[in-house]
Amino acid sequence: MTYYYEEMRRLLFDHYDLHRRDLPWRSDRNAYKTWVSEVMLQQTRVHTVIPYFCRFIQQFPTISALAHASEDNVLKAWEGLGYYSRATNLQNGARYIVSEHQGIFPFRKEDILKIPGVGPYIAAAILSMAFGKPEPSIDGNLIRVISRLHALSGLSSSSKTQKQIAVIASKMISEKRPGDFNEAVMDLGATICTPKSPSCETCPLESLCIAAHEGCPELYPGNKKTASLQRYAFTICPILYGNTVYVKKRAASGLLAGLYEFLMIPGHYDKEDLITSIKPEFVLNDASILSIEALPDSEHRFSHLIWDMKGYLIRLVYDNDLGPKPLSEKNTKGLFVPAEEMKSLPFPTAIRVYRDAVLASARDLF
């Protein structure tokens, strides 16, 4: 079995050294850049991450810079990348490192795992790639590669399968090149040993792979059937007063935490129903609705649900010169901001089509 793993590593590294992907976080293997890249790569494709990573590192070049940045600036830099809790966790982790380690990334596994938002996978990636420790990064790529090499048919999400994978991975990983090993497996899983239609004929490990010999690699690992996504209806109402737009910040936890949004009313509403629907949000005694303009319908798919959206652009006019009155206590996070200033606020991709419509409508006011 020792020979098997030695041969596997030789074949893997021969291929990796010739075909490794040129990625910006690989040119300078420090712990901070490895951490940022691995957080971004969770649930996101490499080609999408590359420009975000470069801009993020340029804007926040050090742990200290990230720790001391405003939350809005961090979320704005993340805008469009999705799964925004990753950005919040990353900043919380940076603040922890500044507070507990004087801004220097810890190098012991037990200390790295204490960083908010850092779990076993990211800790292993940092330890192997930045500090040269033989820690296998057990992600979907490695699980798939090992499951096919050994024809492990258990569900990839089961604890039994994951324990099997962990034992095998600890034997497979290179003591001399642990970071390269993890990256080589990532590249193999992303480009050759893919979930569907793997290219076994070009795989450097084909001669060692049981699933390839069986001719059915796609059967491994086993996976649960994907459940259908639940749909949620919303009416999105950007509200303009002069050259200002009403926005509110979402709660500090939950879906799209900390991002900005327009008035979002659960359900689909017609124009006639909107007046009574927005009154609880605003004190409109001295205001009239000048116009209501229909905006395009939109749909956004999250990993676990779908937003089905209708939209209306609402313009207000006030019967006095005082403008909007203070908002009710339950909505103290809402405020009117200049439309131009709205550009700098972090909005979720889900409602960007409505933000763009507001900017287009208000452009003549800038």
Q: What is the mean pLDDT of the chain?
A: 88
**What pLDDT is attached to residue 308?**
95
- The DSSP bridge partners found for residue 292 are 314
**What pLDDT is attached to residue 252?**
82
**What pLDDT is attached to residue 127?**
97
Whole-model pTM: value is: 0.81
pLDDT at 157 over 80: no
**What pLDDT is attached to residue 226?**
64
**What pLDDT is attached to residue 327?**
44
pLDDT at 366 over 60: no
Collapsed DSSP state (helix, strand, coil) of residue 306: strand
Q: How far is CA 301 from CA 100, 212, 230, 309, in A?
A: 39, 34, 10, 11
pLDDT at 301 over 70: yes
**What pLDDT is attached to residue 330?**
43
Task: Report the share of the chain in percent with pLDDT over 90.
Answer: 60
**What pLDDT is attached to residue 104?**
96
What is the C-alpha to C-alpha distance for residues 341 and 351, in angstroms, rounded to an integer?
A: 17
According to CATH, where is 1.10.340.30 located in the chain? 2-219
**What pLDDT is attached to residue 329?**
36
Chain segment 89-134, per-residue pLDDT in tens? 999 999 999 999 999 999 999 999 999 999 999 999 999 999 999 9
pLDDT at 312 over 50: yes
According to CATH, where is 3.90.79.10 located in the chain? 230-365
Chain segment 220-268, per-residue pLDDT in tens? 887 766 677 899 999 999 988 888 898 999 888 888 888 999 999 999 9
> How sure is the predictor about 321, in pLDDT bands with cuts at 50, 70 and 90?
low
Collapsed DSSP state (helix, strand, coil) of residue 164: helix
**What pLDDT is attached to residue 326?**
43
Best CA proximity match to 264, nearest among 341, 274, 346, 254: 274
Count the alpha carbons within 13 Å of 91 in the hemisphere toward its beta carbon.
21
pLDDT at 214 over 50: yes
**What pLDDT is attached to residue 221?**
85
Mean pLDDT across the stretch 327-341?
66
Q: Where does 230-365 sit in CATH, by number? A: 3.90.79.10
> How sure is the predictor about 331, in pLDDT bands with cuts at 50, 70 and 90?
very low
How many C-beta neighbours within 10 Å does residue 28 have? Answer: 11
pLDDT at 307 over 60: yes
Q: Render 242-271 in DSSP notation, one character per residue.
A: TTEEEEEEPPSSSTTTT-EE-EEEES---H
Considering the candidates 38, 135, 183, 206, report the single residue annotated as catalytic.
38
Would residue 38 show up in a list of annotated catalytic residues for this protein? yes
> How sure is the predictor about 274, in pLDDT bands with cuts at 50, 70 and 90?
confident
Best CA proximity match to 155, nearest among 105, 224, 203, 100: 224
Q: Where does 2-219 sit in CATH, by number? A: 1.10.340.30
pLDDT at 168 over 90: yes
> How sure is the predictor about 333, in pLDDT bands with cuts at 50, 70 and 90?
low
What is the C-alpha to C-alpha distance for residues 186 and 83, in angstroms, rounded to an integer?
A: 21
**What pLDDT is attached to residue 281?**
56
